[in-house]
Amino acid sequence: MTLHAAVAGRPTPDGSPTPSGRRYLMCRPTYFAVEYAINPWMDPTGDVDPALAVRQWETLRQVYRDLGHTVEEIEPVPGLPDMVFAANGATVVDGRALAVQFRDPQRADEAPAYAHWLDRAGFEVHEAKHVNEGEGDILPVGDLLLAGTGFRTSHAAHAHLQEVFGRPVVTLRLVDPRFYHLDTALCVLDDRTVAYLPAAFSPGSQAVLRRLFPDAVLATESDARVLGLNAVSDGRHVVLPAQATGLSAALRDRGYDTIGVDMSELRKAGGGPKCCTLVLRDRPSEREREATK
């Protein structure tokens, strides 16, 4: 199985990656709080500064805009403190959206809110048949869908993914509860490669990743502990937590431009830049389809 070299992320003649314009969906953390614990990062007894969370989120949104990306917003809903983590709201590929079914009841009402927004925005929305937490566990790379399991998204959801999107699905098993979603342990850099923390995956999944991405950037434990892999790449610019200095240097060595943002307040709920960002992938144009052949 090979990955096609799509326009997005294809190297320039000097070998450096090229960016592509993206369309993102975000949700302002108006009601952000840590009121329950559904992952190891969350401590309901700790202090949370909602105003700081909003400022950090606004900085992230401005970074995307400064890079030329389109940012759309979904209205936050009172009583849903984790709705800021838009990546968990759906998976959107080729103009189709697979709605989510959360494992934990505290987040259940986020699912219809995101599905309704996507339907009104013109996406073809498919109902979830099994527990899946959107781009938290489902990450497109080239023609493939990398699909995490082990803590949140069920393995049964992977077969449904393939039916909805018509793309090969690669199952990756997560084994460290700190990295409970795939997007906390792996970042898609472009259509050909990724960065990831090997120890977050089962031995078999590590072998699959080595085979698929022999030139992957391997993250360190220290960078993963600050959710450095919860990053967003447009093929050249990688927006990642400012504290992930080692990963940032490794990415620059590979020709990527890195932009560090402080998401420390949102990290108290287990989130970073990627958690706050759902990629809205429209149907490819005829020109784009021809370019990938």
User: What CATH code is carried by the domain that includes residue 144?
Assistant: 3.75.10.10
Does 4 reside within a domain?
Answer: no
Name the residue range of residue 106's domain.
23-282
Q: What is the pTM of this model?
A: 0.91
Task: Please confirm, yes or no, whether 27 is among the known catalytic residues.
Answer: no
Residues 6+ apart with CB under 8 A from 218: 195, 196, 197, 198
| Whether the predicted pLDDT of 13 surpasses 90 | no
Does 16 reside within a domain?
Answer: no
Does 246 reside within a domain?
Answer: yes
| Whether the predicted pLDDT of 190 surpasses 50 | yes
Does 18 reside within a domain?
Answer: no
Instruction: Name the pLDDT band for 88 (thresholds 50, 70, 90).
Output: very high
| pLDDT score, position 284 | 77
Mean pLDDT of 125-140: 98
Give the chain's mean pLDDT. 93
Does 244 reside within a domain?
Answer: yes
β-strand pairing of 257-261 with 169-173: unpaired
| Whether the predicted pLDDT of 285 surpasses 80 | no
| Whether the predicted pLDDT of 11 surpasses 50 | no
Among 181, 187, 237, 276, the active-site one is 181
Does 140 reside within a domain?
Answer: yes
| pLDDT score, position 137 | 98
Does 176 reside within a domain?
Answer: yes
Domain count, the chain: 1
Q: Residue written as tokens 């259940």?
A: 108
Task: Please confirm, yes or no, whether 155 is among the known catalytic residues.
Answer: no
Does 5 reside within a domain?
Answer: no
Q: Which one, of 75, 66, 70, lies nearest residue 29 by Cα?
A: 75
Among 126, 187, 237, 275, the active-site one is 275
